[in-house]
Amino acid sequence: MGREDGQHAVVIGASIAGMCAARVLSDHYAKVTVFERDDLPDQPANRSAVPQGRHVHLLMARGAAEFEGLFPGLLDDMVAAGVPVLENRPDCIHFGAAGHVLGTQATLRDEFTAYVPSRPHLEWQIRRRALAIPNVELVRRGIAQPRYDAAEERVTGVLLDADDASAIPADLVVDATGRGTRLPVWLEQWGFGRPTETTVDVGIGYATHQVHIPDGLIEEKVVVAGASHDQPLGLGMLFYEDGNWGLTTYGTAKVPPPQNFSEMCALADQLLPAHISAAVRKGEPIGDVAFHKYPTSRWRRYDKMDRFPTGIIPFGDAVVSFNPTFGQGMTMSSIQAGNLREVLRSGDPDIAGKLSQATAKTTWPVWMMTAIGDLSLHNATGEAQWWYRPVGDLFDQFLGAAETDPVLAEWFLRRFSLLDSLWMVPSASLIGRTIRHNARLWWTEKRAASRSRRDRDRVPSR
Ligand SMILES: Cc1cc2nc3c(=O)[nH]c(=O)nc-3n(C[C@H](O)[C@H](O)[C@H](O)COP(=O)(O)OP(=O)(O)OC[C@H]3O[C@@H](n4cnc5c(N)ncnc54)[C@H](O)[C@@H]3O)c2cc1C
């Protein structure tokens, strides 16, 4: 028997994931109420409950497309508000990954459009569109916990305070409270046990400054110099709609990031082309440095639980929180929203079960890519399979070739942006191309070295 659409859905948490969930639910429930404990500004602004918002947030091209699908017109509105766009312009991006630089003139030849909103701007654009939906209502109030009916093994709403008098009944509750979710604790209290967790200890420390850089000094809009095995510090710079740059520096594997603007400039000197680091030095830092610690990437395996109550679904970072230096969290929330839409459209009554399976399927390839990157290239610790290191080494070879082969670079940048497929697995022909390319480079370097040795030997001695 299929599931009838419901009367009332409740979403806990009005951040990116919660708003995407509300959008999808509004097509299937007569009323959707979103509860948020934090103040929600009516313009783009940082929020205290989302401290990560002060650090640069890459919006993947796939995420932009998914958000546009959920909220048609969003991208045009962002552009009208001054959000920079990267469009088929190789000079828009400097992209360094694991010690290799891909954003050269040769790359990004084909269609590739990406948007660079600040995190507060994107969240505000999404929020105002979600809250404009007639059957979506926002209540500025924290939720104490879901209301659980033990006899039915079902969540039947939420409790605003600890007592039942504060209950708000609902057919479905969405937990979009972020990586600090208490759902595992509640599941244990209700007798279901906690989900197992897959984790990678990445030991990331972020330090971010907003910087005003005089016009005309940098053509690029996105500058990324990712950490590598030998360089535990990384850097990301995004040019935002307000005309300022977000300059985020970070350390991996518990190496502390730069502590002030002058240390950030010194790191920029090390990691970036001279014209960009010189521009950073000419920049004027605004406000204070924001710091953030992100010790562990965490995937809560709800899909592996034997029993799960009906009436509640975990969503967004509450399910999986990826190493943020890969810039995938918001895009993966938008992909979860697509999964939720499919499950609700199917009419299957097992919403939680079907959604957790679908989300495991979309999470797996992306989690693998970041876990392999972290465990083999970023000195992280965690559950590594024996084959992570060889695959990481192969990728190092691939990225080395992609520095000078635009076809490989473009493939990598599109997959990294989660376009085309979530799997970062090159085809046999791309692997062959990588081997040939690197072999050619090796021969060229070897011939050049022996030529210069010959030339040196020919110099007559006095
Ligand atoms: C340092 C850092 C950098 C990042 N960089 C990127 C990036 O470059 N690109 C990218 O795509 N992603 C990035 N991410 C990830 C991104 O921030 C998240 O994936 C995204 O915000 C989606 O999270 P969410 O909506 O699930 O949870 P959150 O954004 O954490 O929001 C949870 C919401 O729930 C509310 N809430 C919690 N408890 C309650 C309660 N009991 N009652 C009511 N409300 C409640 C909170 O107030 C908050 O508003 C980064 C993360 C970090 C930590």
- Whether residue 226 lies inside any domain: the answer is yes
| Residue 165 shares a structural domain with residue 76 | yes
> Are the C-beta atoms of 371 and 382 separated by less than 8 Å?
yes
- Read off the CATH number of the domain in which 203 is found: 3.30.70
Distance CA 55, CA 203 (A): 16
Last residue of a domain, one of 371, 405, 423: 371
Distance CA 202, CA 224 (A): 19
- Residue 217 alpha carbon to ligand 1 centre in Å: 33
Residue type, 369: M
- Residue 454 alpha carbon to ligand 1 centre in Å: 61
- Whether residue 344 lies inside any domain: the answer is yes
- Read off the CATH number of the domain in which 367 is found: 3.50.50.60
pLDDT at residue 89 is higher than 70: no
- Whether residue 366 lies inside any domain: the answer is yes
- Residue 387: CB partners within 8 Å, gap ≥ 6? none
- Residue 49 alpha carbon to ligand 1 centre in Å: 8
Nearest Cα to Cα of residue 95 among 403, 318, 306, 333: 403
| Residue 286 shares a structural domain with residue 141 | no
In the predicted model, what is the mean pLDDT of residues 279-301? Answer: 98
CB atoms within 10 A of CB 409: 25
Number of structural domains in the chain: 2
* Two tokens, residue 115: 């948007």
Q: What is the dihedral sign for C-alpha 42, 43, 47, 52?
A: positive
| Residue 65 shares a structural domain with residue 156 | yes
In the predicted model, what is the mean pLDDT of residues 237-266? Answer: 97
- Whether residue 390 lies inside any domain: the answer is no
Which H or E run includes 441? helix 428-458
Q: Which domain holds residue 341?
A: 6-85+119-197+299-371
**Mean pLDDT, the chain, integer:** 94
Residue 151, Cβ density class (10 Å: 0-12 exposed, 13-18 middle, ≥19 buried): exposed
pLDDT for residue 111:
63
| Residue 177 shares a structural domain with residue 204 | no
- Residue 178 alpha carbon to ligand 1 centre in Å: 5
How far is CA 457 from each of CA 105, 193, 462, rounded to the nearest angstrom?
38, 74, 13
In the predicted model, what is the mean pLDDT of residues 61-90? Answer: 92
> Are the C-beta atoms of 424 and 125 separated by less than 8 Å?
no
- Measured by CA distance, the residue closest to atom 12 of ligand 1 is 329
Last residue of a domain, one of 268, 296, 324: 296
- Whether residue 436 lies inside any domain: the answer is no
| Residue 13 shares a structural domain with residue 33 | yes
- Whether residue 241 lies inside any domain: the answer is yes
pLDDT at residue 1 is higher than 60: no
- Whether residue 132 lies inside any domain: the answer is yes
- Whether residue 341 lies inside any domain: the answer is yes
- Measured by CA distance, the residue closest to atom 30 of ligand 1 is 178
In the predicted model, what is the mean pLDDT of residues 253-281? Answer: 97
In the predicted model, what is the mean pLDDT of residues 298-322? Answer: 98
* Residue 2 banded pLDDT, cuts 50, 70, 90: low
> Are the C-beta atoms of 290 and 208 separated by less than 8 Å?
yes
Best residue for ligand 1 mutational test, from 300, 317, 332 (most atoms within 8 Å of Cβ):
317
Best residue for ligand 1 mutational test, from 52, 127, 147, 332 (most atoms within 8 Å of Cβ):
52
* Two tokens, residue 417: 């942006």
| Residue 240 shares a structural domain with residue 339 | no
* Residue 354 banded pLDDT, cuts 50, 70, 90: very high
| Residue 203 shares a structural domain with residue 244 | yes
Residue for token pair 């890459």: 58
> Are the C-beta atoms of 384 and 374 separated by less than 8 Å?
no
Greater model confidence, 16 or 387: 16
Q: What are the pocket residues of ligand 1 if the criterion is a CB atom closer than 6 Å to any ligand atom?
A: 12-18, 35-38, 49-50, 52, 55-58, 142-143, 176-178, 206, 292, 294, 316-318, 324, 327-331, 333
Best residue for ligand 1 mutational test, from 34, 115, 119 (most atoms within 8 Å of Cβ):
119
- Residue 177 alpha carbon to ligand 1 centre in Å: 8
Best residue for ligand 1 mutational test, from 20, 34, 37 (most atoms within 8 Å of Cβ):
37
Q: What is the DSSP letter of 310?
A: B
Longest pairwise C-alpha distance within the chain: 100
- Residue 120 alpha carbon to ligand 1 centre in Å: 11
- Residue 401 alpha carbon to ligand 1 centre in Å: 36
| Residue 223 shares a structural domain with residue 184 | no
| Residue 328 shares a structural domain with residue 338 | yes
Q: What is the DSSP letter of 165?
A: G
- Residue 18 alpha carbon to ligand 1 centre in Å: 9
pLDDT at residue 164 is higher than 90: no
- Residue 129 alpha carbon to ligand 1 centre in Å: 18
pLDDT for residue 233:
97
| Residue 276 shares a structural domain with residue 207 | yes
Least confident of 129-138, 197-206, 324-333, 436-445: 436-445
Q: Which atom of ligand 1 is nearest to the CA of 316?
A: 26
| Residue 177 shares a structural domain with residue 54 | yes
Best residue for ligand 1 mutational test, from 15, 143, 416 (most atoms within 8 Å of Cβ):
15
pLDDT at residue 451 is higher than 60: yes
| Residue 278 shares a structural domain with residue 355 | no
> Are the C-beta atoms of 17 and 70 separated by less than 8 Å?
no
Last residue of a domain, one of 349, 371, 393: 371
Q: Which atom of ligand 1 is nearest to the CA of 179?
A: 30
Tens digits of per-residue pLDDT, 165-219? 999 999 999 999 999 999 999 999 999 999 999 999 999 999 999 999 999 999 8
- Residue 407 alpha carbon to ligand 1 centre in Å: 35
Q: What is the dihedral sign for C-alpha 292, 198, 236, 233?
A: positive
- Residue 223 alpha carbon to ligand 1 centre in Å: 23
Q: What is the DSSP letter of 266?
A: H
For residues 235, 75, 367, 246, the Cα torsion angle rounded to the nearest 10 degrees is 20
- Residue 60 alpha carbon to ligand 1 centre in Å: 16
- Measured by CA distance, the residue closest to atom 28 of ligand 1 is 178
